[in-house]
Amino acid sequence: MIPPDHPRYRSLVTRERLAGCAKKGIVAMEGLTAHGRGEAFDYLIGERTTISGLLAEQTAAAMLISARHPVISVNGNTAALAAHEIAALQEACGALVEVNLFHRTEKRVAQIEDLLRNAGADVYSGEAERLLPLSHDRAWCRRGGMFSADVVLVPLEDGDRCEALVSLGKTVIAIDLNPLSRTARHATLTIVDELTRALPAISRACRELSAADRDRLLSTVDNHYLLSEAIHEMTARLSHALD
């Protein structure tokens, strides 16, 4: 039997949770495929937070708590996997939480907002408009939410919207286990780590960083370096995989 503190046990529980949310319509079926792809990359970093991942998480915290109008964008997978972690991060950094979906229906939006509220998040809802320069439904957002944000955290993001947000002059923080994805390469800052490890680490850094630490992290942001380090950590692990 796999012990509860083993990464494999957590993976099994996560899959069951996602499957249950997919049956309810909270998670799109395509989201299950996306999660499986992420799991494969998590194996490559040893199912742990790497040195570069932790640096990215601390930098993300500095960005969020220094922002004028930060927003955490949540899709179905993020809500299903980490609703409580989203609520905790909101409390730590004061960001708005807004639901944004590729496979958008009003029913799904309401289900995900309810899931987040039940976990303790204060969800920014109301009338959405097609405000982002996209041809699909992720263009829909709130004028006082993501559209007005200066910093947007986009866990489990698609590349199209990441590029669109950057083109609007926003600082975009992505959480993406694939350092080669379009999202990872176009975001202002990419955290190569698993969602339920990354969010608590960002929350912890929001509470613990000094003003001097924030200034240092913000003045040295280098996403190319972080992605290069993530790839190096993956290849180093592969080179010793059979040891």
Let me know if residue 12 belongs to a domain.
Answer: no
Q: Are strands 129-130 and 70-74 parallel, antiparallel or unpaired?
A: unpaired
d(CA 8, CA 74): 25
Q: What is the pLDDT of residue 12?
A: 60
Average pLDDT of the chain, as a whole number: 88
Let me know if residue 215 belongs to a domain.
Answer: yes
Let me know if residue 103 belongs to a domain.
Answer: yes
Q: What is the pLDDT of residue 146?
A: 95
At 140, list the tokens. 């829909």
Give the residue-averaged pLDDT of 20-34.
Answer: 63
Q: Which residues contact 97 (CB under 8 A, 6 or more apart)?
A: 71, 72, 74, 86, 87, 90, 116, 121, 122, 123, 124
- Name the domain count of the chain: 1
Query: How many residues does this entry show for the chain?
Result: 243
Let me know if residue 179 belongs to a domain.
Answer: yes
Contact between 69 and 112 under an 8 Å Cβ cutoff? The reply is no
Give the residue-averaged pLDDT of 166-170.
Answer: 96
Let me know if residue 234 belongs to a domain.
Answer: yes
Total Cβ atoms within 10 A of residue 27: 28
CA 64 and chain centroid, separation: 13
Give the residue-averaged pLDDT of 128-144.
Answer: 91
- Given pLDDT bands bounded at 50, 70 and 90, which one contains residue 19? low
Q: Residue 162: pLDDT above 80? A: yes
Contact between 213 and 61 under an 8 Å Cβ cutoff? The reply is no
Q: Residue 243: pLDDT above 80? A: no
Q: What Cα–Cα distance (Å) separates residue 159 from each residue in 67, 102, 166, 180, 220?
A: 23, 12, 11, 11, 24
Model pLDDT for residues 55-79, shown as the tens digit of each residue: 999 999 999 999 999 999 999 889 8
Let me know if residue 39 belongs to a domain.
Answer: no
User: Regarding predicted confidence, which is higher, 49 or 242?
Assistant: 49
Question: By three-state DSSP, how is residue 172 classified?
Answer: strand
Give the residue-averaged pLDDT of 104-131.
Answer: 92
- Given pLDDT bands bounded at 50, 70 and 90, which one contains residue 9? very low
CATH code, domain carrying 130: 3.40.50.12640
Q: Which residues contact 83 (CB under 8 A, 6 or more apart)?
A: 115, 116, 118, 119, 121
Phi-psi region of 155 (alpha: psi -120 to 50; beta: other; left: phi over 0): beta
Let me know if residue 56 belongs to a domain.
Answer: yes
Q: What is the pLDDT of residue 28?
A: 62
User: Regarding predicted confidence, which is higher, 12 or 137?
Assistant: 137
Q: Residue 220: pLDDT above 70? A: yes
Enumerate the H helices of the chain as residue ranges: 7-24, 29-44, 51-66, 76-93, 106-118, 159-167, 182-186, 195-208, 211-219, 223-239
What residues make up the domain containing 65?
A: 51-239
Question: By three-state DSSP, how is residue 189 classified?
Answer: strand
Let me know if residue 124 belongs to a domain.
Answer: yes
Q: Residue 173: pLDDT above 60? A: yes
Give the residue-averaged pLDDT of 130-157.
Answer: 92
Of residues 187, 195, 240, the one with CA closest to residue 47: 195
DSSP-assigned letter for residue 123? B
